[in-house]
Amino acid sequence: MTEANQNCDSTQSVHAGEVRHKPYHTLIDPLVPTATYVFDDFADIQHFISDQNNKIPSERLDYGRYGNPTIRAVEQRLAALENGQAALLTASGMAAMTLTMLTFLQQGDHIILTDDCYRRTRDFSRQFLKKFGVQSSVVAINDFDTLEKSIRPNTRMIISETPTNPYLRVLDVERIAHIARKHAIKTLIDSTFATPFNLRPLDYGIDLVVHSGTKYLGGHHDLLSGVVIGSAADLESIRDISCTLGPIADPFSAYLLLRGLKTLALRVRHQNESALAVAHFLEQQPEIEQVFYPGLTSHPDHAIAKAQMKGFGGVISFTMRANLEQTGHFIDLLKIPYISPSLGGAESLVNQPALMSYSSISAEERAAIGIQDNLVRLALGLEDSTDMIADLQQALAGWQR
């Protein structure tokens, strides 16, 4: 971790991208739950149209699907936190991902996807886009020789994720950006697990960053949202398609998100520290087969993570010396984390990916993508790491394989 890696700190979490003088002299950006906006008269409409045609920035809006002041405030904060020129908030992380791909892809295009990515992203790329004549190749993360060999004349996008789910692989974002630029291919990185506190992919030459705002950005398990951040020109294209497809965020979620973002740096710093302590503890336990956490020197991407990230994130995966049922029994003994598929909020969450995120596919298919029955994913919340370690200790002590 270098001195130059000055990602979003607490001051930025609270103030980045803000407008200091708000309507009614409020301190807090107001929640504006309106579906539409009104015009005073004919001249007011003409003025609005003229500003739009001449691309003159204006606070004026005409309809809820095209914009909202609360949503705008969050977009400005998120663009600033990621060091991007512009952002678009969406109803969910998947809405941001699919909208972005639909904006830049057309029939006959080819995309490259790295493995160990979020299952729905893989399904969308491999199955849904195929229906519209977009072909995809999957390559192992950080296998840059295969990646370059997979590039075709019609390759338009490289899509990756960092750290990945569930094995917490860390992408060398600088290297992937360099290769993509050489071939004039757009890069899209799902940085949900990293957060802008730990990594800012745009600083390394990545074109577009997507987050599931449902996770660390919101930070309280009480909203669903997504965001895509990048250059003003790319975001204008994405916004235009969003106005047609309509996967927009709702103002109340945006309000909660803005509130949650103020503590982003505090929360993520704590989660980084807790996860590292818990990962070190787990690595010492005879019942644990392998721990996957980029902060551990045993992790294959530790060196990349150390060079590019400010912290290693709040999620740990580990395999147990056990089968599916025995692993489930161990999870049942934990008292602090809730059993749930999400991550990034105040409450720690634990899940068994073979049962939760991947239950709809066969054991053979799970094995093919590396989802083992004895795999556990632990997403640290805001509890103290000492309490979490004590909880893991009591569960291991009481566990009967």
CA-to-CA separations, 329 to 54, 220, 289, 340, in angstroms, rounded: 63, 27, 16, 15
- Alpha-helical (H) ranges within 334-370 are 363-368
The residue among 208, 262, 218 whose CA lies nearest residue 239 is 208
CA-to-CA separations, 100 to 249, 362, 366, in angstroms, rounded: 15, 30, 28
Nearer to ligand PLP, 124 or 330 (CB): 124
Q: How many Å apart are CA 287 and CA 123, to the nearest integer?
A: 34
The tokens describing 255, both together, are 């309000």
Nearer to ligand PLP, 247 or 288 (CB): 247
Shortest-Cβ-distance residue relative to ligand PLP = 93
Nearer to ligand PLP, 192 or 352 (CB): 192
E strand or H helix that includes residue 14: helix 10-15
Q: Name the minimum Å distance from CB 113 to ligand PLP.
A: 13
Q: Name the minimum Å distance from CB 160 to ligand PLP.
A: 11
Nearer to ligand PLP, 77 or 322 (CB): 77
* Interface contacts to ligand PLP, rule CB under 6 A: 92-94, 118, 161, 165, 190, 192-193, 212, 214, 224, 226
Q: Name the minimum Å distance from CB 224 to ligand PLP.
A: 5
Q: Name the minimum Å distance from CB 231 to ligand PLP.
A: 21
Nearer to ligand PLP, 226 or 314 (CB): 226
Reduce the DSSP state of residue 139 to 3 states and report it: strand
b (16+ CB within 10 A) / e for 233-266: ebbeebbebbeeeebbbbbebbbbbbbbbbbbbb
Nearer to ligand PLP, 313 or 395 (CB): 313
- With 0-12 CB in 10 A as exposed, 13-18 as middle and 19+ as buried, what is 205? middle
Whether residue 224 contacts residue 92, with contact meaning beta carbons closer than 8 Å, is answered with yes
Nearer to ligand PLP, 82 or 161 (CB): 161
Q: Name the minimum Å distance from CB 325 to ligand PLP.
A: 25
- Quote the strand ranges of 203-260, DSSP E: 208-212, 226-230
Question: Which residues on neighbouring strands pair with residue 90, listed in sequence order?
Answer: 226, 248
Q: How many Å apart are CA 53 and CA 47, to the nearest integer?
A: 10
Nearer to ligand PLP, 238 or 288 (CB): 238
E strand or H helix that includes residue 104: helix 93-104
Q: Name the minimum Å distance from CB 359 to ligand PLP.
A: 15
What size, in residues, is the chain?
401
Q: Name the minimum Å distance from CB 287 to ligand PLP.
A: 27
Find all residues with CB under 8 Å of 20, minimum gap 6, and list them: none
Q: Name the minimum Å distance from CB 284 to ligand PLP.
A: 28
Q: Name the minimum Å distance from CB 97 to ligand PLP.
A: 6
Nearer to ligand PLP, 61 or 339 (CB): 339
Q: Name the minimum Å distance from CB 333 to ligand PLP.
A: 25
What is the DSSP code (8-state) at residue 23? G
